Structure 1
Amino acid sequence: MKRLLLLSAAVLLGACSKEEAPPEPVRPVLSVEVKALNQENLGRFAGSIQARYESNVGFRVPGRIASRNVDVGAEVQKGALLATLDPTDQQNQLRSAQGDLARVQAQLINAQANARRQQELFNRGVGAQAQLDIAQTDLKTTQASLDQARAAVNQAQDQLNYVELRTDHKAIVTAWSAEAGQVVTAGQQVVTLAQPDIKEAVIDLPDTLVDDLPADVVFQVASQLDPSITSTAIVREIEPQAQSATRTRRARLSLTDTPPGFHLGTAISVTLSSEIKPRLELPASALQEVDGKTRIWIVDPQTQTVAPREVSLISRTDDTVVVANGVKSGERVVSAGVNSLKPGQKVRIDEGSPQ
């Protein structure tokens, strides 16, 4: 009887030893969905919104600035008074020209009267032809002097009008180069005006980058204060020569559209990108090096298991890698903990995994 009990116990122990091992626990993993990239970022640069058309204006006559009527940033309409000169010199010139005109007008009256007298005497046969010719010549000379005096008065009047500096178009005052009390010459820059209707983005690009810009380069423009205000732009012009101190060349970009938030002087951030052949970018942590080969782990959404797959690298940085093949857009790849995975292992995608 005792021997039967021992035999039964041995049979039970052998049966227990043949039971399957407990299933491996489901492993939580972080993963990312593969997305194809069709643009290449070439850099990010700071710049500002400026007017495409600016004009540096000044007085058409010399003099001392008597008043400055607007400040920087003011928006002015066509014909607005910007500044004035002391008009004393121009007023004196006008009075002098008006005096000369009055004198010549009096001379003309005498010349006309003398010409009439000589003509009457000649007609009665008591006047000489020579005297008549002299009188008529004097009349023509005085008439020419009158025309000249009138032109001088008009010119003096214009000179007096030029002591007022007015704008000939709607504009925004962006800079003053002279102050009240300063003596300026004719044509000297006094104020800078910008036409606010057409705006553009202005940035400084490294000289080495300008030469390598693709023909289809696209500029993404965003406000630094409010990145939601964006636009795209294309190159309008680039300075042909780099600045000696910074080795940069100023680029002016035509905006595709101009959001209301793009005011003159708005600080912007400009990103350069170019169309490229679609490629796939992954986190560097998704790679696993095994026996000299590079592989990643693909998550099967149906079975919730993982499987390794070899990939070929195009480029690599500290944070990301670009692969040429071995994975498709839309597949999900394990992005962390790849060294502890096994083929066919059950996984659970954490809710915090990037989508």
Structure 2
Amino acid sequence: MFRHALPLALPLSLSLLLVACGNSEPVHQAARPAMVVQPEPAADAVDTFPGEVRARYEPELAFRIGGKVSRRLVDIGARVKKDQPLAELDPQDVRLQLEASRAQVAAAEANLKLVQAERDRYRTLLDRQMISHSQYDTVENQYRAGAARVKQIKAEFNVASNQAAYSVLRASLDGVIASRRAEVGQVVAAGQTIFTLAADGDREVLISLPEHAIDRFKVGQEVAVELWSLPDQRFPARIRELSPAADPQSRTFAARVAFDEGKVPAELGQSARVFIRNNASVPLSVPLSALTAEAGQPYVWVVDPKDSTLKRRLVRVGPYGEDRVPVLEGLKPDDWVVAAGVQVLREGQQVRPVDRANRSVKMLAKE
């Protein structure tokens, strides 16, 4: 009898157990802690451009006459003083021109003496009324022409003398030779650059600006410069010069940045970074860990301050940074965004907002 009753008692006991469980209250799950942050000013509000420290004055030195380079007296990196000889041309041709001019001066002076003596004789004859005034005027005009010829030849001699001095290229300022573009034996033309001199004095940073954003930059705009040798220090500066035309190869605009401070430990050729505030960018950004995407559409989880529930917020982002991403559309400065674990969250989920130190965050409900 008990063997037949046992199969009937077991289902009955299970049914009573299920009924008892069904009558109990459901178990309440605690709100999951979620680290939240508010959007901060975007790091991309500041554009960064690599640059090179250059001298403010960089004259290109060239011979004022053409010829063959016979001597080169300095090399790249050499420190030079003003009027120091840098290179020389073969002086043979200019010396011959100088000798020819000197001979022409001597001939013109001898001719002037001759016509002057002739004029003096004719003046004596005119005083004695032995010749006519027309005859005297002819001799007087010959004397004036001889005197003018002497002035002309002397001027040509001075030019030849100067050209003889131009065969030596000298430094125009104290500084350092930054580049060399000619060698011994090379025939150069007048005005062809031989050396580029980095003059002593103020230092600047040369940068290249992209053509698609050139309208955002102007002369006098305030910037900051960071030297690679001093990575934790930024020096105030401003754009001093902006090229009006783009480089034909790189399609960028050259700009020179001058330091506001007089004494900056910047040496020629040093690498530097120039920081320029981008006033056109949206000044909001969130950590990369706060961003996720679905079907190629990025979004973030925003906490509703009324009941601490999550809402998906679609956003439009800019170029990704190292640890943050600028948000161009979709967020407000007073929004609270989940900054970690966004892949396991769901719409409408209730959370307990905490900060990075695991302290509860009190949110003010929006009216």
Coarse TM-score class (shorter-chain normalised): 0.5 to 0.7
| CA separation of 1:296 and 1:66: change in aligned 2, threshold 3 A | same
Name the counterpart of 2:255. 252
Q: How far off is 1:157 after superposition?
A: 1.0
Query: What does the per-residue CA deviation read over 1:212-261, in whole Å, with 9 as the maximum and x for residues that have no partner?
Result: x4779864432234323533444731454464x54x31330433425533
Name the counterpart of 2:332. 324
Farther-moved stretch of structure 1 (111-120 vs 131-140): 131-140
| Correspondence for 1:137 among 141, 151, 160 | 141
Structure 2 distance, partners of 1:154, 1:96, is 12
Structure 2 distance, partners of 1:125, 1:347, is 123
CA contact under 8 A between 2:206 and 2:257: conserved in structure 1? no
Structure 2 distance, partners of 1:206, 1:325, is 30
Structure 2 distance, partners of 1:51, 1:80, is 19
CA contact under 8 A between 1:202 and 1:250: conserved in structure 2? no
Query: How many equivalent pairs are there?
Result: 308
| CA separation of 1:76 and 1:32: change in aligned 2, threshold 3 A | farther
Q: Secondary structure at the match of 2:185?
A: coil
CA contact under 8 A between 2:54 and 2:269: conserved in structure 1? yes
| CA separation of 1:308 and 1:196: change in aligned 2, threshold 3 A | farther
CA contact under 8 A between 1:296 and 1:334: conserved in structure 2? yes
Q: How far off is 1:151 after superposition?
A: 1.5
Name the counterpart of 1:109. 113
Name the counterpart of 1:85. 89
Structure 1 distance, partners of 2:233, 2:253, is 23
Q: What letter corresponds to residue 324 of structure 1 in structure 2? A: K
Q: How far off is 1:293 after superposition?
A: 8.6
Matched, 1:174 2:178: yes
Q: How far off is 1:313 after superposition?
A: 6.8
Structure 2 distance, partners of 1:130, 1:348, is 114
Identity of aligned residues (%): 26
The TM-score, its normalising length taken from structure 2, stands at 0.65
Q: How far off is 1:145 after superposition?
A: 1.9
Name the counterpart of 1:164. 168
Query: What does the per-residue CA deviation read over 1:262-306, in whole Å, with 9 as the maximum and x for residues that have no partner?
Result: 22322222344324665463462599xxxx9925699xxxxxxxx
CA contact under 8 A between 2:55 and 2:198: conserved in structure 1? yes
Matched, 1:294 2:297: no
* Structure with the largest fraction of strand: 1
Structure 1 residues without counterparts, runs of 5 or longer: 1-28, 299-306, 351-355
**Pairwise mapping of residues 181-260 of structure 1 onto structure 2 (< 5 A)?**
181-210=185-214, 213=216, 219-231=223-235, 232-234=237-239, 236-241=241-246, 243=248, 246=250, 248-257=251-260, 260=264
| CA separation of 1:97 and 1:293: change in aligned 2, threshold 3 A | closer
| Correspondence for 2:268 among 239, 264, 267 | 264
Query: What does the per-residue CA deviation read over 1:313-344, in whole Å, with 9 as the maximum and x for residues that have no partner?
Result: 7556695466525558xxxx99657979x967
| Correspondence for 1:94 among 98, 115, 119 | 98
| CA separation of 1:139 and 1:346: change in aligned 2, threshold 3 A | closer
CA contact under 8 A between 2:310 and 2:351: conserved in structure 1? no
CA contact under 8 A between 1:94 and 1:157: conserved in structure 2? yes
Q: Secondary structure at the match of 1:54?
A: coil
Structure 2 residues without counterparts, runs of 5 or longer: 1-32, 293-298, 359-367
Q: What letter corresponds to residue 117 of structure 1 in structure 2? A: R
Q: How far off is 1:52 after superposition?
A: 4.2
After superposition, the CA RMSD in angstroms is: 4.4
Name the counterpart of 2:361. none
The TM-score, its normalising length taken from structure 1, stands at 0.67
| CA separation of 1:296 and 1:142: change in aligned 2, threshold 3 A | same
Q: What letter corresponds to residue 61 of structure 1 in structure 2? A: I
Query: What does the per-residue CA deviation read over 1:97-150, in whole Å, with 9 as the maximum and x for residues that have no partner?
Result: 222222222222232222222222333344555553443333222222222222
Query: What does the per-residue CA deviation read over 1:33-62, in whole Å, with 9 as the maximum and x for residues that have no partner?
Result: 868426634644322123344333321222
CA contact under 8 A between 2:45 and 2:282: conserved in structure 1? no
Name the counterpart of 2:66. 62
| CA separation of 1:34 and 1:347: change in aligned 2, threshold 3 A | closer
